[in-house]
C-alpha cells in the first residue's frame, strides 16, 4: 500500500473558523488522508483565512505567502476567500481559492491537487471527528452567518445570513464529544441568541422530552450531557434572561459572553447595534442577584467614527458601574466594505490609541477587584496542561485562549481534563493562584 497523502493545515481567525477546519480535516481523515506537522512533510497545504479586519487580511495574506514559500502547493479557504481576486493578485501561485464554509469545494480542490488513497478498510476516523483543540474541550458551532447589519462589520457579506443547525444534529455531535472524553463544550456562532429563528423554533424530541429549536431549550439539553457548557457570542435579547435559571441549576456554566461594543446610545445607534436597551445595567444586577458567581465577558470598540470625548467618558463610567469581569477592546479599524467607512468625523489614530490604553487600564482595575473577591474561597477548575513546575487550569469564569488562568503547584496524578476543587490563595488583574483540595479531584478519563 502506498503512503497516504499528507495535508498541512494553517487555521487562522476565530473559533468558528477553527470548527470549519476541524470539519474539513475530519472528512479528509475519513478518506484516508493524513495530516502533516510541518510544511516540508505536506503534499499540499490548506490555509483557512480570516478577513474580518484589514489587519487580519494582511496576516492571512502573509500566511499564504509563507506556505507558498515553504511548500509551493497551497489551497486557500475561509473568510478572505470571498476576495479571490485580491488573493490571486498577491499570490498568483495558489492552486485554488474558496470562501467560508465551502467544505465540498475545499475537498474537491484537495482531490484535484492530491487524489485520495483507496483504502476502504483503513479510512476510519474517531466518532468525534478530528479536533484541533485539546482532548478535554471542544467548540460546537450551532449556526452559520448572521442577520444583523452592524455598520462596522462585514461578516454577513462573508458568511451570509443566519442558518441554524438542527438541534438534533447539534446534540448528537455533543454526545459523541462527551463520550470521547470532552469535559467542556464551548457553544459558538455569529449570534448564539438568534439560534433557531430561521427554523421558526421547530419542535423536536430529545430523550423523551418535547423541546423547541431555540437557545434556552438547546442549552438545557446540552446541560444534561455531563460536561461543562459555556455560551459565547450571546446578544442580550430579552430571552437571554431565561438562561440564568439554567446557570443557577448548574446545567450551564455561569458565564455569558455578550458583545456590547459600546455604551453610549448615540454610538450604538451609529453602529446599528441590536438590543440598545437602556436597562442593561439593571439586567446585569438582576442576573448577578440570581447567580452571584456569574462571570460576564464582553468586547468594545474605541475610536468609532463620531465618538466624542463625552461618548468615551460615558463608556468608562458605564464599565465602572457594570463591573464586567472580562473585557476585550478593539481599536476601530476601517474595514473594506463596512458601512461605517462612510460616517463623518473619523477619530484620529493617536486619540484612538490613547482611549484604548485608558480603557484597558480602567478594566484592569475592575478585573483585579472582581478576582480579589475570590481569594479565600473554593472553586472548581479544569486542567488545561501540566508544565514542569506548575499546573495551568481555568475556572468556570475563564474560556480557553481569551480569558485568564488558574495556576496551581504541580502534583503528580493530575492530568489535563481533570476537574479539580481548588482554594484560591492570590489573584492579580487576570489570573488566580490556588492549591488543589486533594480529596476532590475528578481525574480525566
Give the model confidence (pLDDT) of 16-75 as tens digits: 788 888 888 888 888 888 999 899 999 999 999 988 778 888 999 999 999 999 999 999
Q: From start to end of 126-227, where are the E strands?
A: 137-141, 143-144, 163-164, 184-188, 203-206, 209-212
Q: Average pLDDT, stretch 191-206?
A: 91
- Please state, for a pLDDT cut of 70, what percent of the chain lies above it: 94
Q: What is the DSSP string of 18-74?
A: HHHHHHHHHHHHHTT-EE-SSSTT-SEEEEEE--SSHHHHHHHHHHHHHHHHHTS-E
Higher pLDDT, 225 or 169: 225
Alpha-carbon separation of residue 195 from 217, 330, 421 (angstroms): 10, 26, 33
CA distance 287 to 240: 10
> Given this model, what pLDDT does residue 192 score?
95
Domain 6-113 has CATH 3.10.129.10: no
Domain 378-442 has CATH 3.40.47.10: no
- The answer to whether residue 122 scores a pLDDT higher than 70 is no
Determine phi and psi for 369, rounding to 5 degrees: -65, -45
CA distance 397 to 100: 30
Ranges in the chain annotated CATH 2.40.50.140? 378-442
Using only C-alpha atoms, the chain has a radius of gyration, in whole angstroms, of 23
CA distance 421 to 378: 7
Helix (H, G, I), strand (E, B) or coil at 137: strand
Residue 277's pLDDT band (cuts 50, 70, 90): low
C-alpha cell at 298: 464582553
Residue 121's pLDDT band (cuts 50, 70, 90): very low
> Given this model, what pLDDT does residue 118 score?
56
The residues near 395 (Cβ < 8 Å, ≥ 6 apart) are: 379, 380, 381, 404, 406, 432
Per-chain mean pLDDT for the chain: 90
CA distance 445 to 100: 35
> Given this model, what pLDDT does residue 148 score?
85
pLDDT in tens, 356-415: 999 999 999 999 999 999 999 999 999 999 999 999 999 999 999 999 999 999 988 899
Which DSSP letter does residue 261 get? B
The residues near 81 (Cβ < 8 Å, ≥ 6 apart) are: 49, 51, 87, 97, 98, 99, 100, 102
Ranges in the chain annotated CATH 3.40.50.12160? 6-113
Is residue 77 within 8 Å of 49, Cβ to Cβ?
A: yes
pLDDT in tens, 310-369: 999 999 999 999 999 999 999 999 888 889 989 999 999 999 999 999 999 999 999 999
Q: Average pLDDT, stretch 229-246?
A: 93
> Given this model, what pLDDT does residue 329 score?
95
Higher pLDDT, 48 or 102: 48
Q: Which among 108, 32, 42 has a CA at the least distance from the CA of 70?
A: 42
Q: What is the CATH number of domain 137-372?
A: 3.80.30.20
CA distance 93 to 44: 13
Ranges in the chain annotated CATH 3.80.30.20? 137-372
Q: Give the sheet arrangement for strand 44-49, strand by strand.
A: 34-35, 6-11, 44-49, 74-78, 96-97
> What is the three-state SS of 215-254?
HHHHHHHHCCCCCEEEECCCCCCHHHHHHHHHHHHCCCCC
Amino acid at each position: 500500500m502506498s503512503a497516504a497523502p499528507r495535508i498541512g493545515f494553517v487555521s487562522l481567525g476565530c473559533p468558528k473558523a477553527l470548527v470549519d477546519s476541524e470539519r474539513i480535516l475530519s472528512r479528509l481523515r475519513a478518506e484516508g488522508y493524513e495530516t502533516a506537522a510541518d510544511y516540508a512533510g505536506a503534499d499540499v497545504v490548506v490555509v483557512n483565512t480570516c478577513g474580518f479586519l484589514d489587519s487580519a487580511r494582511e496576516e492571512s495574506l502573509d500566511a499564504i505567502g509563507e506556505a507558498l514559500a515553504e511548500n509551493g502547493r497551497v489551497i486557500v479557504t475561509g473568510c478572505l476567500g470571498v476576495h479571490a481576486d485580491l488573493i490571486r493578485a498577491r499570490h498568483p501561485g495558489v492552486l485554488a481559492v474558496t470562501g467560508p464554509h465551502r467544505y465540498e469545494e475545499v475537498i474537491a480542490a484537495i482531490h484535484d491537487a492530491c487524489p485520495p488513497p483507496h483504502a476502504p478498510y483503513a479510512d476510519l476516523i474517531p466518532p468525534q471527528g478530528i479536533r484541533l483543540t485539546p482532548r478535554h474541550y471542544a467548540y460546537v458551532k450551532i449556526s452559520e452567518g448572521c442577520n444583523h447589519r452592524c455598520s462596522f462589520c462585514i461578516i454577513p457579506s462573508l458568511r451570509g445570513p443566519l442558518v441554524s443547525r438542527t438541534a438534533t444534529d447539534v446534540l448528537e455531535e455533543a454526545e459523541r464529544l462527551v463520550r470521547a472524553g470532552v469535559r467542556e463544550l464551548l457553544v459558538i456562532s455569529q449570534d448564539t441568541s438568534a439560534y433557531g429563528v430561521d427554523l421558526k423554533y421547530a419542535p423536536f424530541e430529545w430523550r423523551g422530552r418535547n423541546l423547541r429549536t431555540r437557545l434556552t431549550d438547546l442549552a438545557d439539553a446540552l446541560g444534561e450531557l455531563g460536561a461543562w457548557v459555556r455560551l459565547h457570542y450571546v446578544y442580550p435579547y430579552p430571552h437571554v434572561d431565561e438562561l440564568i435559571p439554567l446557570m443557577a441549576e448548574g446545567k450551564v456554566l455561569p458565564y455569558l459572553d455578550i458583545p456590547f461594543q459600546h455604551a453610549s446610545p448615540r454610538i450604538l445607534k451609529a453602529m446599528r447595534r441590536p438590543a440598545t436597551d437602556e436597562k442593561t445595567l439593571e439586567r446585569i444586577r438582576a442576573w448577578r442577584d440570581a447567580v452571584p458567581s456569574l462571570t460576564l465577558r464582553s468586547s468594545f470598540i474605541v475610536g468609532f467614527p463620531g465618538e466624542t470625548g463625552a461618548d468615551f467618558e460615558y463608556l468608562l463610567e458605564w464599565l465602572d458601574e457594570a463591573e464586567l469581569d472580562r473585557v476585550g477592546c478593539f481599536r476601530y479599524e476601517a474595514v473594506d466594505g463596512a458601512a461605517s467607512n462612510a460616517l463623518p468625523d473619523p477619530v484620529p489614530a493617536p486619540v484612538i490609541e490613547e482611549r484604548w490604553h485608558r480603557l484597558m487600564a480602567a478594566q484592569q482595575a475592575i478585573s483585579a477587584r472582581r478576582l480579589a473577591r475570590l481569594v479565600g474561597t473554593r472553586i472548581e477548575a479544569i486542567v488545561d496542561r501540566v508544565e514542569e513546575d506548575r499546573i495551568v487550569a481555568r475556572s468556570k469564569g475563564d474560556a480557553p485562549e481569551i480569558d485568564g488562568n488558574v495556576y496551581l503547584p504541580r502534583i503528580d496524578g493530575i492530568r489535563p481534563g481533570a476537574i479539580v476543587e481548588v482554594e484560591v490563595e492570590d489573584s492579580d488583574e487576570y489570573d488566580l493562584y490556588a492549591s488543589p483540595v486533594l480529596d476532590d479531584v475528578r481525574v480525566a478519563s
